[in-house]
Amino acid sequence: MGDIANQPAIAASTPRQNHLLAALPPKEWDRLQAYMELRPMPLGHVLYESGSTMRHVYFPTTAIVSLLYVMEDGASAEIAIVGNEGIVGISLFMGGETTPSRAVVQSAGQAYRVPGSFLKQEFFRAGPLQRLLLRYTQALITQMAQTAVCNRHHTVEQQLCRWLLMSIDRLPSNELTMTQELIANMLGVRREGVTESAGKLQKLGLISYNRGHIVVLDREALEAHACECYAVVKMEFDRLLPITMAQ
């Protein structure tokens, strides 16, 4: 549709599409810029494996990355989701270097890559970058906490609504490319459960989907259908990271 109009040329990302990068003051920004490298993020690409040492951090612009925990028996569950509002690889500056979870590209796009050692060095200047990253980390913590609550108390249908909303919030349009099987992996439920819930949402006219292509038709109704978890996390992100500057 209007995608081409919205994204001139082949939509080469600009760093400022990432909200964290956009919020940096000029001086911090200048130092960082030299080390940034734009990288393609194909669907399914694994940025970090569980327990592996991280060498880079990533600032997504158009890509969406899922933080996923994979259990011994192969079952999985999404811990959090990171798009152009955030950064992948917080454990680098938090001090642990690794995490027990996996970072995998959930929606193809692009991200800026920065060497971990350099970001760490910048982080410990204890300036605006540090404050920004810490605030983001707190927002991420809220998201994880709410995921725990949601997993405990809410139905698959509610969780699907939340997940769809969180995803399109991180994309330029109201469409996303994602099979029901993949969504099931993220939510940690059966594929059939997603089929059923998605079918229900389609019948209600909230979404339409077709072979891995999902369009959100009625965003407001979808919000009404979701559990409170979506709103709680969104409000907390807006509160902690009000710097929703030039996209």
CA distance 244 to 188: 31
By CB under 8 A, tell whether 48 contacts a copy of itself.
Answer: no
Structure-block tokens of residue 39? 């990288």
By CB under 8 A, tell whether 131 contacts a copy of itself.
Answer: yes
By CB under 8 A, tell whether 149 contacts a copy of itself.
Answer: yes
Q: Which is nearer to DNA, 16 or 154 (CB)?
A: 154
Partner residues linked to 233 by β-bridges: none
CA distance 134 to 136: 5
**Residues from 167 through 196 that contact a copy of itself (CB under 8 A):** 188
Shortest Å, Cβ 97 to a copy of itself: 10
Secondary structure class of 96 (helix, strand, coil): coil
Shortest Å, Cβ 213 to a copy of itself: 27
* 16, 169, 228, 234: which one binds a copy of itself (CB under 8 A): 228
141 binds, among DNA, a copy of itself, none (CB under 5 to 8 A by kind): a copy of itself
Total residues binding DNA (CB under 7 A): 22
Shortest Å, Cβ 113 to a copy of itself: 21
By CB under 7 A, tell whether 212 contacts DNA.
Answer: yes
48 neighbors 122 (Cβ within 8 angstroms): no
By CB under 7 A, tell whether 237 contacts DNA.
Answer: no
What residue type is 187 in one-letter code?
Answer: L
Shortest Å, Cβ 135 to DNA: 33
Cβ burial, residue 75 (10 Å; 0-12/13-18/19+)? exposed
CA distance 113 to 56: 6
**Residues from 120 through 179 that contact DNA (CB under 7 A):** 154-157, 179
* 18, 84, 180, 185: which one binds DNA (CB under 7 A): 180
SS3 of 180-238: HHHHHHHHCCCHHHHHHHHHHHHHCCCEEEECCEEEECCHHHHHHHCCHHHHHHHHHHH
By CB under 8 A, tell whether 10 contacts a copy of itself.
Answer: no
